[in-house]
Chains A and B, each alone.
Chain A
Amino acid sequence: MKSRMIIKNGYVYDPINKINGEKMDIYIENGKIVEEFTGNSTEIINAEGKTVMPGGVDIHSHIAGKLNSARVFRPEDHRTDPVPKTSVTRSGVGYSLPSTFVTGYRYSAMGYTTVFEPAVTPLEAKHAHEELIDTPMIDKGIFVCVGNNYFVLKYIKEGEYEKLKHFIAWLLKTVKGYSLKVVNPGGQETWKWGKNVNNLDDKVKGYDITPRDIVTNLTKVNEELNFPHTNHVHCNNLGSPGNYEVTLETMKAVEGIKPKKGRKNVLHIAHSQFNSYAGENWGNFSSGAAEIAEYLNKHGHITTCIGQVIFTNTTTITSDGPWQYRLYLLTKNKWAGADTELETSGGIVPYIFKKKNPVNTIQWAIGLELMLLTKEPWKVFIGTDHPNGGPFTFYPLIIAWLMSRKAREEMIQKVHKVVHSRTQLASIDREYSLFEVAVCTRAGTAKALGLSEKGHLGVGADADVAIYNLNPEKLDRGNYNEIIKAFSRAAYTIKDGEVVVKDGEVVKEVYGKTYWTNFQYTEDEELREDLEKVFRDYYTVSLSNFEVPLTYLPNNKPIKIEVK
């Protein structure tokens, strides 16, 4: 680990430092990027004719938490994809719900070094951290679901803003979370009565508040508490025709909120593909991506990841209980539902995205439209909302669709013909450059997550580097299989200054850090009394057992934040 390394003569793409394919050397010492050193280096990597990028950063991928229930639920998913052990790696299973070790290996093989789990119920945080302990190769962190938490709803209803702030700081510190996640604000609470909320101004059952109040209050809290990442929202009405209007409303609702010092954005819309649908019903379902992209182009306060659909057999897992129930009614597939005490709900339904299905075809097109119609790649990131849109192992295919018009056209030939009449994908000429790909897979996501030492190769950054077998000077976009191959199997992945993947094979197993936000505050007496009372009366665990101790995060990296 304490070695010195030089990566020589690669074409470097480092968008944060505005380096666009320059041929240069990267110096690594003690797991960090340094300006230069003299004397001998223990390792020289010849990257002649190869593309060098910072290690990939995934902002939204379900890799821990609810996953275990889904793994138990889908034995048929594992049977088709066994992964034998090697002299370095452990055995496991793959496909849409890979085992923890295989998750780490497969991410690393694609050149990814940091992944965030975006939806953890506070009560399940211990379990999520246990899974992350066993997820090798990557740095990680969890987002904590708060959008339907009893305390959050109660304090918003009572107008106790300061208490809400205190509660969020306490919660995140207690469960060792990194950021806030809001899933179907108010909808899951209403689902306890078998109903849902359909737009931002519906009343949340049992509380005299609206989803708008939840989103704006939590976004404000997020900015005032100086969270590294913005509020991460899964909007209301996900998966329903015509829901792009709710998404626009949500984005407009937070327009006036002042961002924390040093950034412009205040909200991240998760997997926006599932929330960019126009039309009134499944019969006239069409793409609303253009409206969302237009809004993103005009405003600077939103980032989003696409949640691209891949035509494959996958598993949908979300905390959005009412939506999962609707999906079950639509597909008649098996369904698991959950209601987690005072916190969230959840559901699991296997789903097959089919090329000849008009709705699936439009969903596929919407994801790519969002990427291609949004001018700045700093606002919209690659993702499949793994495993909801498809397994993360398909990211290289998405990159190929973005970089090569021919790849898209060949796919358009295979899908349902509604792709021409109800989306505008076929008429888009844009092709992503490697610089833009580097933005939407690492630099942009790292910046949105507020990770200053990730996503770039400047001095002081973590030595997480991905080297791909792709020569930018001989790049042939027509031959897109080369692009898929290059991004699927990194020539080298370097994690904290060590080569961990060579030619797409894991050569060393390492364990990354877990990020969490460590708030420093003076305790609020009233909040403590509230917590004690509610935990005593309604929770199945006691308050003292609720905390995730640091033994659950053997290799952790706290981000200290002072709260006044």
Chain B
Amino acid sequence: MKKIILTLKKEPALPIEAETITPENFAGRTLDEIKKLIVWRGKRKEELGDYFKVEGEKSEEVSETHIILKGDLSKVKYIGKQMATGKITVKGNAGMHLADEMRGGEIVVEGNVSDWSATEFRNGILRIKGNVGNMFASAYPGNPRGMRGGIIVIEGKAGNSLARKMRRGTIIVYDSVGDNLAAQMIAGTVISLGNIGNRPGMLMKRGTIICFGKIQEMLPTFIYDNTYSPLFIRYYFKELREKLNIRVPVKVEGLYERYHGDVSELGKGEIFIYKG
């Protein structure tokens, strides 16, 4: 892969909207042309070169483009918006709306990610080494569907309203998850290795939530079924490990409590709580 390295010169005073940072926009452009790409500061048009030092080599193929961002980018929004292929690595924190409506490719963030990221995520792989904010992988207000596919691995904590209105795909959180996880979920899978906050699966129709820690408060609209060892969970983790090389650091063999709900909706959702 051809690497293009962007180093933040200094942290912007106001957040900037850098939706031009995608492999699609960088491929086929020389470094000078990349510097001229537009970023928005409020209503003002500015150039990428005003904020970043651009190095590396020109890439012709979108899928062969690897963008590396260095510095604390917590005030840089919309990195990788609607990207479909290629790779972005953020060596540091990333701002709001990272991987907005992402359609494919891969993004790796080594720091933390702010709120409203991976919104309406469609496909691809997103790996975050740090924590993520609220409304992660959720739907924009009014839209009937949130995340629609792809795989997200969060190695830190996740905030509130994770995976709201999720339709398809997998989210794995290594640490704890906040309140209102997977509210109005239509389908999909969310796995948390840590604790889960209040009311997970509120108004969910279908879908699976697997918890290896404790759930702070379950809704009364979830009904306890039984405690057993579901085979599919072991297969699920095996598949992740062998096909996608995602090694989840947890022991999955054992008994799980199964609840189904939300019975005020369709009631085909399920919550598994690991009991050892």
Contact = CB atoms under 8 A, between A and B. Distances in A.
Contact of B140 (A73, A79, A333, A334): A79
Interface of B, helix, strand, loop or mixed by DSSP: loop
Interface in A72-102: 73-77, 79
B266 to A, nearest CB: 11
Contacts of A333: 144
Contacts of A73: 142
Interface string A6-23: 000000000000000000
Interface string A308-346: 000000000000000000000000011000000000000
B243 to A, nearest CB: 34
B141 interface: yes
Contacts of B245: none
Nearest to A73: B142
Interface residues of A, number: 8
Interface of B: 140-144
Interface in A38-85: 73-77, 79
Nearest to A332: B144
For the complex of A and B, 7 pairs with smallest distance between CB atoms: A76-B142, A75-B142, A76-B143, A75-B141, A74-B142, A76-B140, A79-B140
A73 B143 CA distance: 11
A189 to B, nearest CB: 32
Contacts of B141: 75-76
Nearest to B141: A75
Interface of A: 73-77, 79, 333-334
Contacts of A76: 140-143
A394 B144 CA distance: 25
A334 B141 CA distance: 13
Given A74-B142, A75-B142, 6 more contacts: A73-B142, A75-B140, A75-B141, A76-B140, A76-B141, A77-B142
Contacts of B140: 75-76, 79
B219 to A, nearest CB: 22
B242 to A, nearest CB: 38
B186 to A, nearest CB: 12
B250 to A, nearest CB: 37
A73 B144 CA distance: 12
7 contacts: A73-B142, A74-B142, A75-B141, A76-B140, A77-B142, A79-B142, A333-B144
A253 to B, nearest CB: 41
A333 B143 CA distance: 11
Contacts of A74: 142
A351 B73 CA distance: 40
A232 to B, nearest CB: 31
Contacts of B144: 333-334
Contacts of B142: 73-77, 79
